[in-house]
Amino acid sequence: MRYDDNGAPTGKLDHSAEVLPTVPAVFQKPLILALLGSYLKQLQDLEDACWQLFTLRFLSVAENEALEKWGRLVGESRNGDSDDFYRVRITIRIAVNRSRGNMADLRKIALLVFGHDQFRIWAHRKAVAIYVFRPWETQATRTQALRWFQLAKVACESFRLYTAVDSGPLRIVSIYDSIPSDGMESVSAPLSGGRMMGEI
């Protein structure tokens, strides 16, 4: 198998294509090549079986029972979801399980949950709120999102999730943005205020 610098398998080898061109001319006799070909076929069968085992374990291509095993491993049950969305949920749960509750980890989780970066994380004293300015691009529900953020060990006493109710909501800036003079801006008219957001 081929491996990257971190030791992860990146592709399987074609042993015949790799070995036969390197056989010295003096050994290129029908009987020797037939014996070598028989050995290479067994080696290739083993290579193919190992590659299938490795790829079935990759989350990005796992399906059905293999995906169920991933879900059990990270603590995310399927609940009747399709393979595609279940794979997204497992990816989110991995980020949640690794979270230390800081802003950088919350941002990683939010990017996966919402499927875009049109949100702001706002923290004040013992409260943290996430304001989302565009419809979510994943199938995640509000209940699922709240559960993930709570499991992510957000370092606060109060956590809120707000969603825009129109196309030009008020935006509260975060540590990832430059701060306007009044601390607020609008999606449709930056630096000039905007319409309200609601918790839905």
Phi first, then psi, for residue 50 (nearest 5°) are -65, -40
Residue 49 has a pLDDT of 80
Which single residue is written with the structure tokens 């169920």? 68
Q: Average pLDDT of the chain?
A: 78
Q: Distance between CA 188 and CA 195 in Å, rounded?
A: 10
Residue 180 has a pLDDT of 45
Return the percent helix, strand and coil in the chain, to nearest 5: 45, 15, 40
β partners of residue 164: 197
Residue 181 pLDDT grade (very low, low, confident, very high; cuts 50, 70, 90): very low
Q: In this predicted model, what pLDDT tens digit does every residue of 112-126 receive, in sequence order?
A: 999 998 888 887 777
Residue 175 has a pLDDT of 46
Which single residue is written with the structure tokens 């509000």? 142
Higher per-residue pLDDT: 103 or 190: 103
Where are the domains positioned within the chain? Answer: 11-57, 99-198
Which single residue is written with the structure tokens 């970066």? 117
* Both structure tokens of 166: 């129109």
Q: In this predicted model, what pLDDT tens digit does every residue of 34-76 receive, in sequence order?
A: 999 899 999 888 888 877 766 666 777 778 888 888 888 888 8
* Both structure tokens of 195: 């319409």
Q: Within 13 Å of residue 144, how many CA atoms lie on the same side as its CB? A: 22
Cα 6–8–11 angle (5° rounding)? 130
Residue 165 pLDDT grade (very low, low, confident, very high; cuts 50, 70, 90): low
